[in-house]
Structure 1
Amino acid sequence: MNTLARKASKLTTMQTIPDTAAPAAPRTRSTKKVVLITLAVVLGCAGIAAATGAFWVKRTFYPSAMTPVSLTATEQAEFDSKLQALNNPAAVPPDEANRTLVINERELNAYLAQQQLGESVQVKFGEGQVSAAVIFTAPEDFPVM
């Protein structure tokens, strides 16, 4: 009988259903929490917009000086020979009428630096285009629209 009692106790312990808690009522968000989250998002977006605007104003209206280009000795010698060919053109035989002199962006910016314009003028070459950036200080009585 002892064996039957053990089997019966095992069956009853396995068949007992554990008590489950009643499902909790759905949580509602408090109005205070919603207002605080909304306020945090709005202030975060306003902060990002203010920082972006300040960066744009500083970069547009108060730019830093450009870095002048300086050539190495070999580049300078090559550029000087190109300038000499431009300044002292010789008579061109008819069979060599289509001569080309190539001046690259670096040489042109170095020339501008030699002319004391390196911190305020910068030239860039693109595919079929030339662009220039100029920084100048406008006088106080300069008309601004």
Structure 2
Amino acid sequence: MYTGIQHLHSYLSYLVLLGLLVSFVAALAGWFGNKSFTDKDRKLGLLGLIPVHLQWVIGIVLYFVSPLGMSNFSGEAMGDSVSRLYILEHPLTMIIAVVLITVGYSRAKRQIGSDNRGFKSIAIFYGIGLILILSRIPWNAWPGN
């Protein structure tokens, strides 16, 4: 079970990054193009939000079934940078990123029919979330590495 969930979590990360990148670039284009935020743009924001939430749920399950997760939490593990990444840094940073992306989407969906504030909200919050995600991906375990 652990291996299957781990592979799902690893390969779903491609979809997460693609969805976030598409949503982020579209939001930047709308923001700087001074377009009005529409329902179509809100749905484009979902392209980044849904995979992120799905990945988060799978990551939480993986955290509790993994030998590198909660069961390995100790003071000794904090001294090892790889263990600390898997036990603390990766999960905590990803939770912060998911919260920021969710806040960005929630703020944007209230701006339908208004000026470009919805684009601005998605661009800023998704952009910060994307940077956080990219900063704490365990690149040594990246699929194909």
TM range (shorter): under 0.3
Q: TM-score, normalised by structure 1?
A: 0.25
Tell me which protein shows more helix as a share of its residues.
2
Tell me which protein shows more strand as a share of its residues.
1
Greater relative contact order structure (CA < 8 Å, 6+ sep): 2
Q: TM-score, normalised by structure 2?
A: 0.25
